[in-house]
Amino acid sequence: MESDVTRRGVMGLGLGAALTIPAAASFAAATPARARAPGSVGIAVVGLGKLSLGQILPALKLTKNAHLAALVSGKPEKARKVAAEFGLPDTAIYTYDTFDRIADDPGIQIVYIVLPNSMHAEFTIRAFKAGKHVLCEKPMAVTLEECERMIAAGKAAKRQLMIAYRCQFEPVNVTAMRILRDGTIGTPRLVSAVMGKQTDLSDPSDAWRLDMAMSGGGALADMGIYGINATRYLLLEEPVEVRGWARTDRNDPRFKTVDDMIAWQMRFPSGAIGEGSSCFSQPGTMSWQAIGSDRRLVADPGCFYGGNTLRIVGGKGDVQPSVAEIDQFGNEMNWFADVVRGRSPNIAPGEEGMQDMRILHAIMRSVANGGASVKIDAGYKRAHDPATTVGIRTSI
């Protein structure tokens, strides 16, 4: 961000085109662009920070249903270099001030917001006013009121809003959802998630995450959202009660406005419990496990950009499902391209992003009140289960 699957085939990639990649690797600048499918959808990427340069733009060299149509950046020289790599003219480069001119560019159908969280609402609403569909990075926004305005703006413009929950398009996680649904591990009782990394104030991409006004929640908003969202899609239900606790060293200059480690518990209607932690002062970790009445399902790592693994533990012995790795970002963008073309359902609409924001804010309220229980009763129900909607290739 800029700041100064079982046997049904690969449905989610659109037109059955798989994207096979090396684990956890960025794509080299020399990677040739994939041939576009008829009606390929043009995407404007807003923000040219680490995520865009390392993951999103390289993935757009592999997507078939979507292609890079424009760049929006506060650093014109950086944008010109990227544009030259993709063969884009200078007219396809916009600044944050000239962003609204995208309304006059028919080659742009989707705007992908890859900015600090505090800027998501503004640019999402501006994109809708320009008549474009929006793919927005998570967390969706900083406040619930911003989420409401984003959703309302999309409906008013009659355009699609999807939140970039890449793990809902990632083979290990989709496979895990299917294993939980088919009863392989028995009745799910506990999902435990650990998400964190070591941050550095001298790194601009970390600095804004350590600023409460820009991030809206520090490690909880940045890393914890993966564990919260994973618990929800693994269990396929919504929590009714949460609790949270924080541990933060205020003498550490990184944590002047945000908490460092936050741990939480969530209670679900079925009786299952979700627990997790997020932290900005630990080695890079993105893992989860689901414990059932019969066996355990372990993903360690489970939410990295590549190299995720899955094991079924217990019973007659451990089993490791064989899952074909694909590019999560490419799969996600191909999927959204099909959403705006009316070919696929939107499995992560604004309402999905807002539900995570409700939970995040409830956890923070609990933390502020010494771990007191906070009830959640928003009536949200997921419209589409990724386990039965997103197609991937796997074998057990």
Catalytic site positions: 138, 226
Q: Between β-strands 188-198 and 241-247, what pairing exists: parallel, antiparallel or unpaired?
A: unpaired
Which residues have CB under 8 Å from 351's CB, separation 6+?
A: 151, 380
Tokens representing 69?
Answer: 């149509």
How many angstroms separate the Cα of 320 from the Cα of each of 116, 179, 208, 310?
37, 12, 38, 6
| Single-letter code of the amino acid located at 198 | Q
Q: Find the farthest-apart pair of alpha carbons in the chain and give their distance in angstroms, rounded.
A: 62
DSSP string, 208-220: GGG-HHHHSSHHI
Cα torsion 259, 263, 268, 273 to 10°: value is 170
CB 101 within 8 Å of CB 129: no
CA–CA gap between residue 123 and residue 110 (Å, rounded): 12
Give the strand order in the sheet containing 161-163.
Answer: 93-94, 66-72, 41-46, 110-113, 133-136, 161-163
